[in-house]
């Protein structure tokens, strides 16, 4: 039973671990429904969620990540008011902080008929389309997940959105980190996503002015609806 209805929740500025636990609870809820449906004659629709939030300064390292890509000591990390978590998504190290839109789609991918690759491609497409509203041409970069500007030019290539997901039982969690009004100085302390020599950027930096986060939320929601044929 396909259910393309998605519950949108903006949970605001929230500690990373608290948001991770929040995701896990929703993830477990969807998996439990799918497990019950395996044995039930009458199937119940599984749920889908799209969570937007911001985090206080934090670095996260995915399953394939390397600690040496954090370029500072834990003492210096603490002095900058940042935390470090090793987590169960794909990808290497990335940064989250205020002014960044962090999106956690907790979806039963069976409802949307997509492969994991197509799901990640879809998230990239959502960000690319959102940036078009600001007259910014963004693309994918061959062999590097996420959304980039000037990806074809090694001297100018810069990443504006990181993507790292986890799926199990065909249910997704974790998601994307879109630099809007992000303090990019915090990226100087890591090798972002484990890729040497690549710069990062933000919507604010590209436009030369701060951007209304609420406006970005609405544009992202509209593009998620279009790309994945969701109903909010």
**Residues annotated as catalytic (active site), given as ranges:** 193
Name residue 200's beta-bridge partners: 159
Helices (H) and strands (E) in the chain — how many of each?
Answer: 5, 11
At residue 179, φ and ψ (nearest 5 deg) are -75, 110
Q: What is the 3-state secondary structure (H, E, C) of 109-137?
A: HHHCCCCHHHHHHHHHHHHHHHHHCCCCC
Residue 102's Cα: distance from chain center in Å? Answer: 5
Tokens describing residue 83: 């935390």
Question: Which residues neighbour 179 within 8 Å (Cβ) at sequence distance 6 or greater?
Answer: 99, 100, 160, 161, 200, 201, 202, 203
d(CA 188, CA 200): 9
């Amino acid at each position: 039973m396909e259910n393309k209805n998605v519950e949108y929740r903006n949970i605001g500025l929230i500690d990373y671990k608290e948001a991770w636990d929040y995701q896990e609870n929703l993830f477990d809820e969807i998996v439990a429904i799918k497990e019950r449906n395996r044995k039930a004659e009458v199937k119940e629709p599984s749920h889908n969620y799209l969570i937007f939030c911001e985090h206080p300064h934090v670095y996260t390292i995915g399953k394939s990540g390397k600690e040496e890509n954090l370029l500072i000591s834990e003492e210096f990390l603490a002095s900058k008011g940042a935390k470090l978590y090793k987590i169960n998504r794909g990808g290497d190290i990335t940064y989250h902080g205020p002014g960044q839109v962090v999106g956690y789609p907790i979806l039963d991918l069976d409802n949307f008929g997509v492969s994991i690759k197509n799901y990640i491609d879809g998230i990239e497409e959502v960000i690319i389309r959102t940036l078009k509203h600001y007259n910014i041409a963004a693309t994918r970069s061959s062999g590097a997940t996420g959304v980039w500007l000037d990806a074809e030019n090694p001297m100018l290539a810069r990443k504006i959105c990181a993507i790292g997901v986890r799926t199990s039982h065909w249910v997704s969690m974790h998601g994307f980190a879109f630099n809007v009004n992000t303090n990019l100085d915090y990226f100087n302390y890591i090798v972002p996503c484990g890729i040497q020599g690549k710069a990062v950027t933000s919507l604010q930096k590209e436009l030369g002015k701060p951007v209304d986060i609420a406006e970005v939320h609405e544009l992202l929601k509209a593009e998620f609806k279009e790309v994945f044929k969701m109903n909010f």
